[in-house]
Structure 1
Amino acid sequence: MRTLLNNLAKCVLAGALVWVGVGPAHAADAAASAPVKLQGLRGGTPLNQDNPPAGNRQERDHGPADRDFVQQPPLIPHTVSGYQITRNYNKCMDCHAWQKTKASGATKVSVTHFRTRDGQELDNISPRRYFCTQCHVPQTDAKPLVDNTFQRARGLQ
């Protein structure tokens, strides 16, 4: 009889512990299933519609900006509105091609832009580096989309 009571007491205790453990877990599940208001960068615009462009403006032409990390592609320090970069024509090369930089005063295209992915040196811009605005972007006065604590690389400060 005593063994039966001990077993019964153990079962009641185990049941109580399970019930106590389930209580907070159940409360956490209820809180997790409560509706959460999320605000995306699209501002509630449905995915099948375009967002109107933000009211940002490009900065006026000025000297090159400092870089924030070591391998950062230089920012474009002038407007590129209306610039055309197609398979057959690249407006950037009107000033940045090596043979035109003296007359234009623009920075020469880096020698790295003349190498293929296999390391072969070409005598013209490599196709993988031809579309400048894939890496280089104009400077702008836009506010950051999200708060952040980004700091420039220590060696560049």
Structure 2
Amino acid sequence: MIRFIATFAFVGYLKPAPGTWGSLAALPTGLGLMLLAGPWGLVLGTLTIFALGLWATTRMIAGSANHDPSEIVVDEVAGQWIALWPLAFGAANAGAAYTALWPGWVAAFMLFRLFDITKWGPVGWADRRGDPLGVMLDDVIAGVFAAVGVVILAGLFHAVLM
């Protein structure tokens, strides 16, 4: 069960770039949460996957010199779901289908991967913690940055192009 959670149903074993595969797997599962329970379902799912991910990561890396093995991708799922929050609430507030905001989905994915890979500012600080909380927290922060980027891009799109 620990590996199943930490690797997000073994997606973390896909090569190359398991983190990207984890982020990609987060998109349809995030959509599923939105369709089943709306935007607040996605928020609750994010909090749940964070807690489960922290628990599983703590156990999976116990006694290991590698504090962030590439196959652990539950952190990417939590961060990617955070990046989707503006889309979930925006679509719900507008009465639109979640998939109608597809450019925002692309932006959320690309921005999250950008912040997760480059580890700018607080993302890098969290990553350098070298503990299970740091493993999870760097992607949460990257997800928050990506969510802010999605909001900014949506605002620019609607202000300039609409």
TM-score (norm 2): 0.23
- Which has the larger share of helix? 2
Q: Which has the higher contact order (CA 8 A, sep 6+)?
A: 2
Tell which structure's C-alpha radius of gyration is larger. Answer: 1
